[in-house]
Amino acid sequence: MTKEKFDLTGRVALVTGSTRGIGKAIGDAFEEYGATVIRHNTKVCDLADAAAVDAFFDRLEAEGALPDILVANASVQAKIPWTEFPLDEACREIQVNFLATLRMFQRVYPKMKSQGWGRLITVGSVNERRPHPDMCVYAATKSAQENLVRGIARQVAKEGITVNNLCPGVFNTDRNRECLADPVYGPKVTAAIPMHDYAVPEDAAGAALLLASDAGRYITGATIMVDGGLSLPG
């Protein structure tokens, strides 16, 4: 009985940034549980280009492929002290990490509302709780996204749509590969994680599947940390 609630057969899922890293692992899990997954990366649609986001959704709409499940996973980040952070880079992070998410949510909402079922999921970051000193702008975009999730969740809950935020801790993906392999910095990072290990992309898939499926139908407006305890105080 419980197993069936995770089944995604017949659902269309768009996972942004799903050709590698955490997005790929989430897309793979959704496929394993029966969903049709639309794979996305910068070549499919660069989220830094607001017009391209609308053009992408125009195409999906024309093809009758608007998703039932949307995971806003792709993001950009730069490690630069806030005192020197270039405003054009800040604008890029705000566009990719926040505005594109808002626009995608706006584009899929009418379909989700009309069918009385939908899943909106953002991928946040442990930086919402413990910002890296040189990633304040990235952390701010992720916090904005989390706030958006809570604001929307309350309004759409009665329409069969859940809205949640999944927050990874330290994952061994392309963006972290080099620093985790560093013989000095790598062990320092793992020592700070209560589980004393970083995550692999597949570690995010179970939480995403819960939020995307009927198994998670009563979870909304939540932030789920997948961080080995890194965000815990102390």
The site for ligand NAP, by CB under 6 A, has a size of 28
Q: Which of 38, 56, 69, 75 binds ligand NAP (CB under 6 A)?
A: 75
Structure-block tokens of residue 145: 């996204």
Would you tell me how many other CB atoms lie within 10 Å of the CB of residue 89? 14
**Contact flag: residue 173 with ligand NAP (CB under 6 A):** yes
Range 9-38, binding ligand NAP (CB under 6 A):
16-17, 19-23
Is the Cβ of residue 5 or residue 59 nearer to ligand NAP in the bound state?
Answer: 59
By CB under 6 A, name the one of 28, 76, 117, 202 that touches ligand NAP: 76
| Segment near ligand NAP (CB under 6 A); pick from 61-69, 71-79, 147-155, 207-215 | 71-79
Residues 97-136 that bind ligand NAP (CB under 6 A): 123, 125-126
Strand partners, 171: 199
Of 4-12, 59-67, 101-109, 172-180, the segment contacting ligand NAP by CB under 6 A is 172-180
Using CA atoms, how far apart are residues 129 and 36, in angstroms rounded to an integer?
33
Identify the burial level of 127 via C-beta atoms within 10 angstroms of its C-beta, where 0-12 means exposed, 13-18 middle and 19 or more buried.
buried
Does 89 engage in binding with ligand NAP (CB under 6 A)?
Answer: no
| Minimum distance of ligand NAP from residue 114's CB (angstroms) | 27
Contact between 231 and ligand NAP per CB under 6 A: no
Rounded to 10°, the helix 100-115/50-62 angle is 20
Reading the block at residue 161, the tokens are 């749509």
Strand partners, 226: 168
For residue 199, what is the DSSP state?
Answer: B
